[in-house]
Amino acid sequence: MPKARGAAGAQGGLAGALNSALKDFGGIWFGWSGQENNDPANSIHLDRHEGVTTATVDLSSRDIEEYYNGYANSTLWPLFHYRLDLTQYERETAKGYERVNEHFAERVSPLIEPDDLVWVHDYHLLPLGERLRARGVTNRIGFFLHIPWPPTRLFVSLPYHERLVRTMLDYDLIGFQTDEWRESFLHYCREELGAQVDAATGTIRFEGKTAIARAYPIGIDWEHFQAQGETEESRLAEIRLLSSTRDRTAMIGVDRLDYSKGLPERIDGISRFFDQHPDRVRDLVFIQIAPPSREDVKSYQDIRMLLEQKTGQINGAQSEVDLVPIRYVNRGYSHAELYGFFRAAKIGLVTPLRDGMNLVAKEYVAAQDPDDPGVLILSRFAGAAQQLGVEDRGAVLVNSYSPDDISHAIRVALDMPLAERKARYETMITTIRDDNVQAWTSRFCEDLAATR
């Protein structure tokens, strides 16, 4: 297998996946360092850690504002998550997006060797493949989108949408989390570009180019995550949560502080449950862990204020001197601690309004005790629902926009008998264990190597 050269957008949910991929296949992980540097001559930073080589570049304050905070996270992110009301269309940020992708292509192309596979990740780098082709890179180049691809009727609201998709057809293989996102992309190529599309194989032919679009549901690093559960840190986290709940059932949510995660809607559903079942306030405590993200973007500042307001209102109305129904924690925890928290929680609440996959859902199930597993409540709008919500035999699926639906699911989860909990767990755990991140990496790289 030739080495993989990975080009990734901002480090976030995909960081662990790429780290595992490069440990298995070798190569270089290239991307933004996360640092600001206004010196236009700044060089590539090379580092090697645990067998993985990273090559990163700094960005100027202007690049960060226009490319990252601007076009990537104020235009593409909300649009791809179906939030036209939050999508900003500004010419200067679009120019910044193209400028930075050209800058990345200039810096990474000298690192690419003739037999390398090049794997580009996520919405920050949609046009990078075309920029590399323009610089004479003839290697097989693949792209994977970690977030949803919107329906055509939404995507065409993006200025120069056709230009953006044309650049994507310079990739040999384009990967999506689910068949739904893949089919939306194929529909756009057929209806808006007039491309020749074979829906069965995902082959797209357009103006002499041929690309293949396929679905590759990403998984967790099963062995690494299970190893976290064997640590003292994990055991202490489990004990800490169990001892603090005092015989109440713990329900947990772990999400980046992002409007796509449906956190205010989730709190509304919990509020509805307490209103409909006031006698059960003493039976349940909800822990929401929500580390802040993209704090320079106004919509993220707004969501944090709204969430703090809603949790404060519910606690003010439902608390007693000896209990608080919602614990809102605005910080992050290690993987080992999260394993312990998941293990101690008898309900996992994962209710995004729209999500490419959502690995928290899989981690929650992976951390459960097979002899006494908890219940996963999962939004039907998360990509993970296609794998874990199998005909009511896996996760309890909900409409994350409906407080009544969330309230009903919480009651079902609280009252679910052990036999049903075990049956649902067994349905999900095989998929989570077998369709792991290593299998995902192998499938994509093998398919990419076989193209052209």
Catalytic residues, by residue number, are 146, 355
d(CA 291, CA 401): 22
d(CA 420, CA 269): 23
CB neighbours of residue 181 within 10 Å: 23
- Cβ density class 81-114: b for 16+ within 10 Å, e for less: bbbeebbeeeeebbebbbebbebbbebbeebbee
- CA proximity to 88, closest of 353, 299, 240, 296: 299
DSSP letter string, 241-302: HHHHHTTPEEEEEE--S-GGG-HHHHHHHHHHHHHH-GGGTTTEEEEEE-----TTSHHHHH
d(CA 452, CA 450): 7
d(CA 133, CA 168): 11
d(CA 245, CA 57): 46
SS3 123: helix
On whether the CB atoms of residues 228 and 366 are closer than 8 A, the answer is: no
Phi-psi region of 247 (alpha: psi -120 to 50; beta: other; left: phi over 0): left
d(CA 126, CA 162): 13
On whether the CB atoms of residues 336 and 234 are closer than 8 A, the answer is: yes
- Cβ density class 242-267: b for 16+ within 10 Å, e for less: beebeebbbbbbbbbbbbbbbbbbbb
Alpha helices, DSSP H only, in 135-191?
152-155, 161-168, 179-188
Q: Which two tokens stand for residue 159?
A: 């200025």
Q: Which two tokens stand for residue 443?
A: 């499938």
- Number of helices and strands in the chain (H, E): 18, 16
d(CA 10, CA 137): 23
Amino acid letter, 131: R
- Kindly report the CA angle at 199 between 195 and 200, in degrees rounded to 5? 145
